[in-house]
Structure formats: C-alpha cells, structure tokens
Amino acid sequence: MGKTNKYTYITNYSGITMKIAIEPKPYSDETLSSWIVRTAFANGTDPKSFALSIFRQNSVWYRDLDRYIPEDLKDRLCKLASLSKEKVVSLTLEPLIDNLALYPKNNPHKKWYFVLPIGLKGFVKTGGAYFCPYCLQDDKTAYLRREWKLAWNVACPLHKKLLILRCQKCDTIFSPHKLSYLEPYIYLCSSCGADLRDSPTKDTNDEVLLFQKALNHMAFHNIDSPFQLTTQNRQDFFATLHIFLAFFAKANKYNYHPSLLRFLALPSYAIMTKNNATFNRMTVRDREYLLFACSKIFQYSLHEIIQLFKEFNISKHRFLFTYRNLSPTIESLVQHLHDSPMLGKKKKNPNLSTTSRAISPKAPSQVDKLFKEIEQFL
C-alpha cells in the first residue's frame, strides 16, 4: 500500500485505462461525493487525486456533484467504475429536483432553492457538508446522507439533534474531500484532525422534526402533502413552502405582522443570518425557526389562511415583496389580498368580519390531533 501511486488504481504502465480496483457499494441514501471519498480511501489515495485521475479536472470539488453530475463527467466515471449511469444519477439529487421543481423543463443545471449551496457567493463562504455526529458514530462505515443536502433538514430524525457544519475545535467547515490518504476516515476534520463523531450538538423541536420528516417523505417517497394547506401537487407544495419561509424571514427581520406571529404562538427569536440570505444560506437555527413557523401555518386550510391574512391586514405586497415565480396555491391566496396596507385599512369592511367565521389559534390538543393524522403518512 505504501507504494501506491495516485494513478495505479486506474492506469497500468502502458497507459491503458483500467477499472477502479476497489469499489465500496454505495448506500441507498448516500451522496455521490461521499461514495467518491470512501472509494478514494479504499484505494489508498486521497479524494482530490482520485477525482483528478477520474475526471481529469481539478475543479470538480467546486461543483456540486451531489446536486447533479454533467454528462461528460458521468461518462468518465462510468468508464472506470462498475456503477451504471442510473446508479450514479440516483446518488445525486437530480431525480428529486426533476420531480419537485416547479419548472423542471427550464432547469438544465438542476438548480433548486432547497439545495444547500457549496462554494463562494460574493465574499460569503458557504458550503461544506452538514452531518449528524451520532449517525457517523453508528455507521459501520461512515457515510454522508442525501437528506443532509436539503435545507429543510435541520436535525437528525433518529438522534433528534441539530445537524452540524463545523469542527467544534477549530471551526473549519466539514470538508471530507480535503482529507489526505494518511487520514482515511470521512469523519475526521480536514484541518485539525479531530474526530467529528465526538462533536456536541443541540436538541431540536419535536414539531420541526415531524414537519421535516413529512417533507422528506414527500420528497423521497413520492407521497402527497398530508397538511391541511392542500395544494395542487408536490411541486406546488414546495414552491408554496418556499414563499412562506421567505415571508416569515422578512416578518421576523423587519418586525412585520407581530399580531400574526403572536397568533401562531411563535417564540421570540431574531434571525441571525445577514445580507438578506435565502433560506438555503441561513444558519441551522434560523432555518429551524422558519420551519417551525411554517409547521404552524400549514395546519390551516387555504381558506383559513386567506381569512387570517385579511384579519391581520397583510397586503399582497407585504406577503410577496419582489417574488415573481408564484406557485398556483400562492396565486389563489394573493387574489384575495389587497395591494397596499393603506388601502386595506380604508377598505376594511365591517360586514366581512361579521359574515366570515372568526379564526382562533389551534389548541394544543387540536395540534396534537393534526400531527397524529400526519404521522400516519410517515
């Protein structure tokens, strides 16, 4: 093993390309990058040299291969690995994005607002991989899950703890592809070598866990929405969720609609992520708060939400801000909202409140009942 040259596992001395010597079997919920890292280590090399020898380019780790793998790179990998093209694609989020994005046909690069980004945006360094230290501890061979790449997954459903992104000792973002062949364990910090399986993590909220679980079932198991807010289909559901998350982020940041937030019994919390970050660029705590808010509002039917928004005088503008791509459900909601807060006050019609059924917050027993109903689908 000591003599391993970085090309020996795929090229013989006459330069003829050979297959990868040792190929671990991918787990069904594993990411492609996790499998590449494990395969590199199994062959006595490091992930960077291994990827370079397969893909013939250095920049491959700047792409998000877990989101989707371009055709040329897929061809190169399948020539050297025994995995079929379908299997390689199934280790990425591409099939899920194709199923769930509202406009899949206009989406050749498989962009989706729920995928956690990697790389640089302006001067903001994002990325790395979120993980549950207890899952890595329990695994026979530690590996990274596809679920952890999606922004609504803030906690591990098995261990009920928030996912983490950084080494607690040196604050470096978890980046196992940067490990050398001398540290061939995916769970080590690539900067200080600490065993990340020992990282302390925090508890999460049960309602958020249940909400997250329902979203994963819809996304990974093609199950329709079990929520009161019934939407047309799953594409519509996720696009609607995205707009509500942005709405609650703005409401929190600018202190808008305090009466609605009180009505939903949201805890007092100040979003920490700066620069108007989108949901997928927020800290895990910020995302947890916003998911909690959505888990509350999604217990109401569309009709009830329309009434609530009217009652709290929420204008179309305050709800959408600059949003352009609306989901069908949001289209039908905003039809009922007025355009500006001033107009709303003037138009306030006393008949409206007497004819419409008053909405009250759901009692804890009702909430329990609703979540019990949802649980049957999980």
Smallest separation, CB 144 to Zn ion (Å): 12
Beta bridge partners of 249: none
Instruction: Name which of 168 and 235 has its Cβ closer to Zn ion.
Output: 168
Instruction: Name which of 134 and 377 has its Cβ closer to Zn ion.
Output: 134
Residues 6+ apart with CB under 8 A from 221: none
Instruction: Give Rg (Cα) of the chain.
Output: 23
Identify which of 19, 9, 50 has the alpha carbon closest to the alpha carbon of residue 33: 50
Instruction: Name which of 159 and 217 has its Cβ closer to Zn ion.
Output: 159
Smallest separation, CB 291 to Zn ion (Å): 18
Identify which of 203, 111, 125 has the alpha carbon closest to the alpha carbon of residue 164: 203
Contact residues for Zn ion (CB under 5 A)?
132, 134-135, 156, 158-159, 167, 169-170, 172, 189, 191-192, 194
Provide the 3-class DSSP secondary structure of residue 259.
helix
Smallest separation, CB 140 to Zn ion (Å): 14
Instruction: Name which of 136 and 219 has its Cβ closer to Zn ion.
Output: 136
**Strands, E, within 147-263: which ranges?**
155-156, 161-162
Distances (CA, A) of 263 to 29, 80, 209: 39, 58, 22
Q: Are 185 and 142 in contact (CB under 8 A)?
A: yes
Identify which of 165, 175, 172 has the alpha carbon closest to the alpha carbon of residue 192: 172
Sign of CA dihedral 179, 109, 120, 286: negative
CA 11/CA 15 separation, integer angstroms: 6
Instruction: Name which of 182 and 270 has its Cβ closer to Zn ion.
Output: 182
Smallest separation, CB 347 to Zn ion (Å): 51
Smallest separation, CB 173 to Zn ion (Å): 10
Instruction: Name which of 194 and 343 has its Cβ closer to Zn ion.
Output: 194
Smallest separation, CB 40 to Zn ion (Å): 20
